[in-house]
Amino acid sequence: MPVDAANLTFDKGRPPMLRSFEQLCHTATENLLIAADDGHASLANSGAYAKPWHWHDCVMFILPSRGAIELKHEDRREGTWLSHDRFAVVPSNRAHKTRAGIGANSHVALYATGAMLHRLDNEIGSLSEFHRRTRAAVLVRRTSTIRALQELSLRSDDGTYGHAGVKRSLSTALLVQCIAEVIAGDMMPNVSKREHGMALVADLKEYLTLHADEDIPLDALGERFGVSRRHITRLFRDGTGFSVGEFQQHVRLQTARELLSGTDLPIGEIAFRVGFDSGAALAHAMRRSDGRSPSDIRKSASPPLQHPRATRARTANSAAMG
């Protein structure tokens, strides 16, 4: 049985306040309310978001779009962090507290009443597994389907025919998909602030590796990942020992070495592919890194050099002959 949140005490000995479903629907400003009916509602929040300890008479789903959100609840008062890869479900009558992380932030909050869940149970299928898994607050993997529905629900098409109806339908679809993901059982672990920071560093490394041939300003990285450039700079150096620029240069040079050793592409083309303006610029960077020129690396390559296009052509011819 859930603990009655109204009988608990939190900050400075005060009990958490009730934010009922009715209050959520009637006090939300027009720019925050995505859609609402008599059983569910969806709201968009952004900026310096923070809510003190409170509870709802309905189930809440909180889905980050950009940045991170710290969630504390009565089962984990030290807090856990949500970001783009996960969402949280907080059952009704469970006290919780939320605040945005550093930098740009936006998220969607979905609310579903008991009556709405009962209706879905009757019309779509049993929710017994959903109720079993959400006896306490849980974190669930945010799939590509949920991301797509969330983005569509946030689109601004005011004035178009059927706009309000489309928003309600998208909001309902997002709710149903979130419930389906909970039932599927792909649960995520709680993460501390430090663990969240390391996960962000891993995402940054992956993104920088994929875009190593591009010059990416720190402000653009901050905009994409929802944190300030100052925070990215400190977090990345703490996690890798490199600055963002140093890491990107390392990836470029490593890719260039692989292309020099494994293909017969011209040095100038390799330089362009990995993000240098010219072969001379690549040679200068390589000499500064390990004292070897592109020609030195190419000469030391032991396997026969292959041009990527020639290799693909031979493979295709062999397949055709076979």
Q: Over the stretch 112-142, which tens digit does the pLDDT of each residue have?
A: 999 999 999 999 999 999 999 999 999 999 9
Give me the residue spans of the domains in the chain. Answer: 5-191, 195-308
Whole-model pTM? 0.63
CA angle, corner 220, sides to 218 and 224, nearest 5?
115
Task: Classify 5-191 by CATH class.
Answer: mainly beta
Q: What is the pLDDT of residues 226-239, one digit of tens each?
A: 677 888 888 899 88
How far is C-alpha 45 from the geometric centre of its chain's CA atoms? 16
- Structure-block tokens of residue 298: 């190419």
Whole-number pLDDT of residue 53: 93
The CATH number assigned to the domain with range 195-308 reads 1.10.10.60
Q: State percent of the chain over pLDDT 90.
A: 52
Interatomic CA distance for residues 26 and 10, integer angstroms: 27
The partner residues of 140 in beta bridges, in order of sequence, read 87, 187
pLDDT by residue (tens digit) across 78-106?
788 888 788 999 999 999 999 887 556 78
Q: How far apart are CA 220 and CA 251, in angstroms?
A: 19
pLDDT at 192 (0 to 100): 62
CB contact set of 28 (below 8 Å; sequence gap of 6+): 36, 41, 43
pLDDT bin (cut points 50, 70, 90) of residue 1 is very low
Residue 211 DSSP one-character state:
T
What lies within 8 Å, CB to CB, of 322 at 6+ separation is none
Averaged pLDDT for residues 309-316: 47
